[in-house]
Chain A
Amino acid sequence: MSEPNATGTAHGGPGGDAGSTDARLGSDPAPLPDGVWDPASLAQALEGHGYLADEGLATAAYLGLKLRRPLFLEGDAGVGKTAIALALAGVMGAPVIRLQCYEGIDASQALYDWNFPRQVLHLRTAEAAGRDADAETLEAELYDRRFLVARPVLQALETTPSVLLIDEIDRADDEFEALLLEVLSEFSVTVPELGTIRAIEPPLVVLTSNRTREVHDALKRRCYYHWVDHPGFDREVAIVRARLPQVGERLAREVVAAVQAMREQGLLKPPGVAETLDWTEALVALGADHLDAGRATATLGSVLKFREDLERIRAMDVGAMVDRAITEV
């Protein structure tokens, strides 16, 4: 075996020095990143990575970091659930290992898989070389770590530090949730032929859900639950300014005012922060420095993704709505 201990393959990723320079504390499951000692300081650190977290999210993320309990983020599409995982990884100086869930996902796609073709090849090579190795040695060689293909969960356990993003868990089926239970509580994966692979330091796990179905309570119980809401006006303006530095204050305020007015209309799909950013980008691409009715109507397709919604907002006279929203600000 070339690598005697499978869990010893820890590497810090691009900015590995930021994660764990302090002496490892025996009591803590994992050290906190530099410059983070309470929720407020974490919020500040996240801001440095372009994510404006509110107090609740900062507290949940801080607890998740400190006690290494998974974060369970639920909320409408486009409110920034995935972005928080990326920002947290930035703060930790750790790579993000992403597991996109879909229906029918199972252990061989999430945990590990044996590389069968390579195993067969190995067997053939041994035969061709005329080695007279006994069956047991040959078999032991076959189930070596190098024939194991690590999938996202195992990769995350073997990478220290790391952020494991389990995206849209509600798309997977319940068999998969049961599979995750062991991983999330023990931070270990058991390969029958190899033994148990345990993380040196548990990765920070972030689960997101769009709530297309109710995720089982047993899974939620093991996590910190946070409902990610649409941001308020000031925060959303700040988010737009942080994510798109080339946007002027006036355009940002006007676009956010218009989007927030749309959210009040009871649309089929109220626009999220992602749509606000898309719309602002589209307007910037057209050379706008403020929101006018003509450009707003022309680019409405980047905020509203349902024909019914589009018709409804168009019928409402976009110009008047934007004007009203702006005067209210």
Chain B
Amino acid sequence: MAPGDDHRDPPGETDQPGVRPAESRSEEHSAPREPLDLTASAVGLAHTLRGAGVDASPERVHAFVLALTAVDTADRRQVYWAGRVTLCSGPDDLDRYDRVFTAFFAGERVSSQGRTRRRIRMGPDAVSSTPASSGEPDAALPELQLVTREASAAELLRHRDVTDLDATERAELHRLLAAFMLPGEARPSRRRDPARRGPIDRRRTVRRMLAAGGEPGALRHEAARPRPRPVVLLLDVSGSMSGYAEVLLRFAHAASRRRDGTTEVFTLGTRLTRVTHELTHRDPDTAMRAVAAAIPDWEGGTRLGETLRAFLDRWGQRGTARGAVAVVLSDGWETGEVGELGEQMARLQRLAHRVVWANPRAGRPGFTPTAGGMAAALPFCDQLVEGHSLAALEHLANVVAGRVAGRDDERARQRRNRTVASSGARSGAAGSTVAPGNSGGVTRA
């Protein structure tokens, strides 16, 4: 087919004159950068791309320069595509590339626009504002625990609600959080290791035989190598979670530091943001700054159902959630439609191996999972745990690793279905709530 008969692509070209080679050539001469020096232009474009958040590494730039030798560089469309196939590495990069490419060859300066930078509030001021309590019955801060001289500071810190900490305690908490690991529960993989018993390892047995000159020897055995299931963290960063969100993000950082790519972290709010990449930096503070810059809806509203749907459409159903342990870290305050949240949670539960909901509010005395969103989501959660303190997060890590998983999950869920069904009608009947001590409902640390 002739080039240019489909005007849908490339997107960067549609709003810009000079698509025809003749025009673009004349324009390039008037442009501030000299296009004849291809390498310099390529490096300049890559530099601008890096500023816009595309990971255009030197190796990719090299590939780009090499590709430019193979295409007609007077044709801007060919240059566009040569750059796009070499410098981009995912669908998220494509929009940025289009924007930068258009601007760069129009001679404009491109800053890292389109990303509003936000700072994570650190220190005491982060604690000063209490979470938005929209008519919540348990909005009163919990009482401090009895301080005993014997208890070590760390031990004390473990059970405190993270929103009650002062600056130094917070720093200590962050230090403790850094030691977290969050492996998913193990499952047998298709790879096999030598083992004492199990199916016969043909390869090793025959190799052994071969070494012995063909004499049959002892049989070797093999067994499936266990592999942790992937973990998906879905973190609510809306206004009602302020105070918890940063600590939970630090928890997510420690958890996803395992560089085998099996922990994915997304933030929910008014929109979905994937922060797995931002969290890969070793230093927690640097990672937090990168995350803060990447999240556009920090402390905004909560549309859990919609964002969960976006996650499932774009990631979950393709495979990110398949067979994974999905952890939703949220207080369950939904400003969107509650029915949508229930529907999407049902989808998540069908895809994931297990769905764990960690609710920081569950640690408050008198908590009942009756808030609109929480009640809608609860029937589709395999476990509901707290998420307000270090100890609760430790417990969460154990639940995710399957070390605490009760065998009676199924029965617990059915029991919960019944109680939620009755409480969902807001009848106020006796026994309609799940008591915090209930082993099936809220598992206490």
A binds B: yes
Interface residues of chain A, those whose CB is within 8 Å of chain B, are 38-40, 43-44, 47, 52, 54-56, 59-60, 62-63, 66-67, 69, 74, 102-104, 106, 108, 116-117, 119-120, 123-124, 127, 142, 170, 173-175, 210-214, 216-217, 220-221, 224-227, 229, 232, 234-235, 266, 268-269
Tell whether, in the assembled complex, residue B85 and residue A59 are in contact, meaning their CB atoms are under 8 Å apart.
Answer: yes
A39-B3, A227-B91 are contacts. A63–B213 as well, Cβ < 8 Å? no
Tell whether, in the assembled complex, residue B67 and residue A67 are in contact, meaning their CB atoms are under 8 Å apart.
Answer: yes
A116-B206, A224-B86 are contacts. A55–B6 as well, Cβ < 8 Å? yes
Contacts of B202 in A (CB 8 A): 116
User: Given A62-B71, A103-B189, 20 more contacts at CB 8 Å?
Assistant: A38-B71, A38-B78, A56-B81, A60-B85, A67-B67, A102-B190, A106-B191, A116-B206, A120-B206, A120-B209, A120-B214, A123-B213, A175-B191, A210-B318, A213-B230, A213-B319, A220-B89, A221-B59, A221-B63, A269-B317
CB under 8 Å from chain A, chain B span 256-273: 260-261
Tell whether, in the assembled complex, residue B78 and residue A59 are in contact, meaning their CB atoms are under 8 Å apart.
Answer: yes
Give the contacting residue for A268; candidates B85, B94, B313; CB below 8 A. Answer: B313
Tell whether, in the assembled complex, residue A170 and residue B10 are in contact, meaning their CB atoms are under 8 Å apart.
Answer: no
- Residues of A contacting B: mostly: helix
Number of B interface residues in the complex (CB < 8 A): 52
Contacts of A52 in B (CB 8 A): 1
Contacts of A225 in B (CB 8 A): 85-86, 88-90
Tell whether, in the assembled complex, residue A217 and residue B72 are in contact, meaning their CB atoms are under 8 Å apart.
Answer: no
Tell whether, in the assembled complex, residue B210 and residue A104 are in contact, meaning their CB atoms are under 8 Å apart.
Answer: no
Contacts of B59 in A (CB 8 A): 221
A39-B71, A221-B59 are contacts. A63–B85 as well, Cβ < 8 Å? yes
Give the contacting residue for B9; candidates A56, A120, A210; CB below 8 A. Answer: A56
Give the contacting residue for B319; candidates A212, A220, A269; CB below 8 A. Answer: A212
In the assembled complex, how far is the CB of residue B279 from the closest CB belonging to chain A, in whole angstroms? Answer: 13
Give the contacting residue for B191; candidates A54, A69, A104, A224; CB below 8 A. Answer: A104
In the assembled complex, how far is the CB of residue B347 from the closest CB belonging to chain A, in whole angstroms? Answer: 8
- Decide yes or no whether B20 CB sits under 8 A from chain A: no
Give the contacting residue for A56; candidates B63, B72, B84, B261; CB below 8 A. Answer: B84
CB under 8 Å from chain A, chain B span 63-79: 63, 66-67, 70-72, 77-78
Of all chain A residues, the one with the shortest Cβ separation from B88 is A225
In the assembled complex, how far is the CB of residue B425 from the closest CB belonging to chain A, in whole angstroms? Answer: 26
Tell whether, in the assembled complex, residue B203 and residue A116 are in contact, meaning their CB atoms are under 8 Å apart.
Answer: yes
Of all chain B residues, the one with the shortest Cβ separation from A106 is B191
CB under 8 Å from chain A, chain B span 218-264: 230, 260-261
Tell whether, in the assembled complex, residue A104 and residue B189 are in contact, meaning their CB atoms are under 8 Å apart.
Answer: yes
Closest 6 CB pairs between A and B?
A212-B319, A104-B190, A59-B81, A116-B206, A224-B85, A60-B85
Of all chain B residues, the one with the shortest Cβ separation from A210 is B318
Tell whether, in the assembled complex, residue A213 and residue B85 are in contact, meaning their CB atoms are under 8 Å apart.
Answer: no
CB under 8 Å from chain A, chain B span 176-217: 189-191, 202-203, 206-207, 209-210, 213-214
- Decide yes or no whether B414 CB sits under 8 A from chain A: no
Tell whether, in the assembled complex, residue B203 and residue A226 are in contact, meaning their CB atoms are under 8 Å apart.
Answer: no
- Decide yes or no whether B2 CB sits under 8 A from chain A: yes
* Bound: A252/B21 CA distance, A: 35
**A and B contact pairs by CB, cutoff 8 A, 16 listed:** A38-B71, A38-B72, A39-B71, A55-B77, A55-B81, A59-B82, A62-B70, A66-B70, A116-B202, A120-B210, A174-B261, A210-B318, A212-B320, A225-B85, A227-B88, A268-B347
In the assembled complex, how far is the CB of residue B108 from the closest CB belonging to chain A, in whole angstroms? Answer: 23
- Decide yes or no whether B340 CB sits under 8 A from chain A: no
Contacts of A232 in B (CB 8 A): 6, 8
Contacts of B88 in A (CB 8 A): 225, 227
Contacts of A38 in B (CB 8 A): 71-72, 78
